[in-house]
Structure 1
Amino acid sequence: MICYILIICCGLAGNVLSKGSRSSSRLNTPVLSVTSKQIVIQASQTLQLQCKGKAQLAWTSPDSVHPDQGRLSIKEYRCGFQDQLHCSSLTLRGASAQDTGAYACKYSTKKRKRQAAVYVYIRDALKPFLELHSSIPEVVYLTEGRKLIIPCRVTAPDIPVTLKKFPEERLIPDGKKIIWNSKHGFIIPDPTYQFIGLLSCEATSNGVLYSTKYLTHRQVNTIFDVYLNATNPLKMLRGETLAINCTVTAEWNARVQITWDYPGKGNSSALITNRIDQSSSNIFHSILVIKQLKDTDRGVYSCNVQSGPSTRDTNTTLVIYDKPFISVKYRHRPTVEVTAGQDSFKLSLKVKAFPSPEVVWLKDGMIAAEKCARYKIDGYTLIIRDVSEEDAGSYTLKLGIQQHNLYRNLTVSLVVNVKPQIGEKAVSYQDPGTYLVGSKQALICTSHGFPPPRIQWLWHPCARNNTKGL
């Protein structure tokens, strides 16, 4: 009987060991020394947490806890059966109310994302709220379709907090429309216009009333237009100063974020200034300035605008030239032909220049626009309206960049072809006249045209008159 009992005990002990070994081998999630999801300690006390797992461990804590302050110490060591596990201890001395928050232990490798966490309240009778906005309210954005959180977190879970709307309206949490959560604050799942305005969270500690204020702002996200004050492509000389203004028009009460992408962004070579138009609160400007342009600054400059989920962008390409230049060539040949009577004719040459030069067209050595009202300059092109024979001649395109003492010109000949015309045809004869048989007569044909027309005479004999009696 005793042997039987010993066998059973040994079997149970074996099961316990086997379970223990299996549980240690299944530590997909680290294990904390505390089993509850939240704990409360007093301010100025020491917080101690231990964590174990089957791989190297790391800790996350509230932003107020910095290792370089000397209050925090983390020790790592091996633990468990035959030191098969990894253990880590976190010690925070002189804990303060601002250290309230989540403390989590996780595996340090990226492949293992699971963690064990505990929320630590650090009770302080003089600081019931983690953040106190008494004189200047904190702005909380209200976005349609998203829950609204009034983040008046407290340093202990049992502190009663009241939510009020200016001036004296009390908003009572009902667990549905308004939910109180000591770790987050007041949560409004489906906010309406009722919650727009000045809200305050109030709590009484040791007979003193504490109030932290929040200003809710209904955020709209509609972006109407985004445009630059620059052409595309934007051409400049090396060494010049670049200034691009990105203008954004958006819906009233919208708040936009403007960022730039440009070739020298990694070196922060640009000075960027953002401002709101003082005359209209829905027009925003972002000005990008680069002094002393270099070859590495050439490329695409993109203005990116974001307002909530809405995004827009626009861009331009910057071309940088080493020095100013003018190049002018014939499009086809130095002589151009046109026909008189044509409604309009464009006389143009191939021009490449930077910066843009002054343009003057000459006709036979005189300024064309002053010589004839039918001449009009459009860019580098001379437009001749109602082309006539007198428009034939030599035309010179003069180009100049005075500030760089750079000048070029090129002459093209315009030939105006005139359709042949017979002068006598324009005169209407009532009676061709009669002449005696055998008499000598002279026929005259006066013609005009360009090139000079070739005259050819043709004779078409008339049929004899067979009238009786003749």
Structure 2
Amino acid sequence: MDLALFCLLCGLYSVLAREGRYSAPVLDVKSQQLVLGADQTLLLNCRGRWKLSWVSPPMLTAEQVKVVSSRCGRTKQHYCSRLKISRSKAENTGLYKCYYEHRPEKNTSVYAFITDSYRPFVEHSEMSPNVLYKKDKESLIIPCRVTHPNTTATLAKFPDEKRLSPDQRNILWDSTIGFIIRSPTFYYTGPFFCETSRAGVALKSRIYIVHRPVSNILEVFLNSSGSVQALKGETLVLNCTATGELNTRVNITWDYPGQNNSFHYVTKRIQRHRTHVLFYSILTIPKLQFSDRGQFTCRVSSGGNVKQQNVTVTIYDHPFIRLKPRHGCLIETEVGQKSYKISPKIRAFPTPEITWLKDGRVAAEQCSRYNLEGHSLVIRDVAEEDAGKYTILVRNQEHGLCQNLTLILVVKAKPQIGEKAVSLQDPGPVPQGSRQTLHCTSHGIPPPHIHWSWHPCPAKGLVAAPRA
């Protein structure tokens, strides 16, 4: 038992040691960097526990690369892979990585510099400009890598070409990365390039255009804030306008019920201002169908920001006018009311022409206190003379439609006694048994009822009890 246990432990230790040794692949080079001359051959050998693959710089051609894989070790339990790069060039400078196919996070790498005295930068000046995106609260990298680890460079910005050197605080230099700007300000936008010198000759990298993407959508508007009404067969035009900060890029899309079965087209336009940018998207449907009715949505997106506006489109088969009273044809108000609105129920399309008459004459021409609000007539400071017949004429001359409705307005007035408004002298004592005439003149709408009552005078020295 002791011998068997000993053998088991030895075997387990052997497996653990073997697997621990190759928990990541192993390269046959000890340093983390290699320096080769142009046109030389780069040869790398990798060994590991499982099947191996390589990652190499993207500018290698298929003719340059050769990979040979095999089983290796005394018992052929390991995997070996050889990477051969022939006729190396400056643009082949970069990271060469060996990794397990089934576990890419297990890898080992070496950075190879392919030196070229005429091309100190991997991305040289003859290459087309590259656009870099600067994100807020993140470092900015200008990737002007060099072909020799001891090369130093300066950073310059167009158009003034002011040189910026590494300060080891905000501007850092790494020959395998380029310039690292830890806290880039708005100054670090626009075209930049890197520069170094060889034998007194200035050599430049490719141009890097640093763009600061902005995704702040300020406002989104539709040219119609309420519902849209249209006739079948008519043309519908909806204009969606988005306002964004400078450098903002937006995507405007439309969503509506008949978008899959209607002919439509979208026109886009951008208008730049000093402080903002306007983006226009104009949706046009030349011939509306009933399948197009419903909610139309303009959706504006920029980065992770999304804003939208909706409008409901109603489509009618033919024009119409529907007119009826709201609370019967007899309406009432009172003298002295500050404002009274005569508002019948109207449904019409297209929008008709509205005219109000009072007793057969145009109301607005009779009195300045009469005003139109939409299809309603508003009477200010109601007086008795405002009573009468009010007729609304609703017309659509283009389609030959006309309807009218007459309402009778009764203006009530509170009863008043005329004698109370006149200061009368006390007639004094009158002879007992004489005939006296008392007058009471009253006015009101409707006419008031008059009732006389007699209250005897109190005896001398007595005060009349108050009436309840």
TM (norm. structure 1) is: 0.69
Aligned to 2:465: none
Aligned to 2:180: 187
Aligned partner of 1:257 among 249, 253, 258: 249
Whichever residue aligns with residue 238 of structure 2, its letter is L
Does the C-alpha gap of structure 1 residues 227 and 366 become closer, same or farther in structure 2, counting only changes over 3 Å? farther
Matches of 1:264 and 1:59 in 2, distance apart?
Answer: 50
Deviation of residue 444 (structure 1)?
4.4
Aligned to 1:275: 271
Deviation of residue 389 (structure 1)?
1.4
Aligned to 1:209: 202
Over aligned residue pairs, what C-alpha RMSD do you find? 5.3
Indicate the SS of the match to 1:241: strand
The answer to whether residue 300 in structure 2 is matched with residue 303 in structure 1 is yes
Aligned to 1:416: 411
Whichever residue aligns with residue 283 of structure 2, its letter is I
Kindly indicate whether the alpha-carbon contact (under 8 Å) linking 2:412 and 2:445 is maintained by their aligned counterparts in 1.
yes
The answer to whether residue 448 in structure 2 is matched with residue 453 in structure 1 is yes
Deviation of residue 373 (structure 1)?
0.4
Whichever residue aligns with residue 274 of structure 1, its letter is I
Aligned to 2:464: none
Kindly indicate whether the alpha-carbon contact (under 8 Å) linking 2:223 and 2:238 is maintained by their aligned counterparts in 1.
no
Matches of 1:270 and 1:55 in 2, distance apart?
Answer: 56
Aligned to 1:243: 239
Deviation of residue 286 (structure 1)?
0.5
Deviation of residue 383 (structure 1)?
1.9
TM-superposition CA deviations, 1:49-76 (whole Å, max 9, x none): 78888889887666657xxx86698999
The answer to whether residue 360 in structure 2 is matched with residue 369 in structure 1 is no
Aligned to 2:466: none
Kindly indicate whether the alpha-carbon contact (under 8 Å) linking 1:78 and 1:84 is maintained by their aligned counterparts in 2.
no
Kindly indicate whether the alpha-carbon contact (under 8 Å) linking 1:150 and 1:214 is maintained by their aligned counterparts in 2.
no
Aligned to 1:284: 277
Matches of 2:337 and 2:210 in 1, distance apart?
Answer: 67
Matches within 5 A, 1:50-65: none
Matches of 1:196 and 1:233 in 2, distance apart?
Answer: 42
Deviation of residue 288 (structure 1)?
1.1
Deviation of residue 341 (structure 1)?
1.0
Matches within 5 A, 1:75-90: none
Aligned to 2:335: 340
TM-superposition CA deviations, 1:246-276 (whole Å, max 9, x none): 234x5xxx53233335426998964433331
Indicate the SS of the match to 1:291: strand
Does the C-alpha gap of structure 1 residues 425 and 169 become closer, same or farther in structure 2, counting only changes over 3 Å? closer
Matches of 1:88 and 1:396 in 2, distance apart?
Answer: 99
Indicate the SS of the match to 2:236: coil
Whichever residue aligns with residue 256 of structure 1, its letter is T
Deviation of residue 392 (structure 1)?
1.9
The answer for unaligned runs of 5 or more in structure 2 is 1-6, 462-468
Kindly indicate whether the alpha-carbon contact (under 8 Å) linking 2:94 and 2:113 is maintained by their aligned counterparts in 1.
yes
Deviates more, 1:314-323 or 1:162-171: 162-171
Does the C-alpha gap of structure 1 residues 421 and 194 become closer, same or farther in structure 2, counting only changes over 3 Å? closer
Indicate the SS of the match to 2:424: coil
Kindly indicate whether the alpha-carbon contact (under 8 Å) linking 2:192 and 2:210 is maintained by their aligned counterparts in 1.
no
Whichever residue aligns with residue 150 of structure 1, its letter is I
Aligned to 1:116: 107
Whichever residue aligns with residue 116 of structure 1, its letter is N
Deviation of residue 161 (structure 1)?
2.8
* Matched residues, number: 439
The answer to whether residue 144 in structure 2 is matched with residue 152 in structure 1 is yes
Does the C-alpha gap of structure 1 residues 142 and 457 become closer, same or farther in structure 2, counting only changes over 3 Å? same
Deviation of residue 228 (structure 1)?
2.5
The answer for unaligned runs of 5 or more in structure 1 is 1-9
The answer to whether residue 156 in structure 2 is matched with residue 161 in structure 1 is no
Does the C-alpha gap of structure 1 residues 138 and 419 become closer, same or farther in structure 2, counting only changes over 3 Å? same
Aligned to 2:15: 18
Kindly indicate whether the alpha-carbon contact (under 8 Å) linking 2:334 and 2:413 is maintained by their aligned counterparts in 1.
yes
Matches of 1:353 and 1:80 in 2, distance apart?
Answer: 89
Matches of 2:54 and 2:46 in 1, distance apart?
Answer: 9
Matches of 1:312 and 1:201 in 2, distance apart?
Answer: 35
Identical-residue share of aligned pairs (%): 36
Matches of 1:331 and 1:72 in 2, distance apart?
Answer: 89
TM (norm. structure 2) is: 0.69
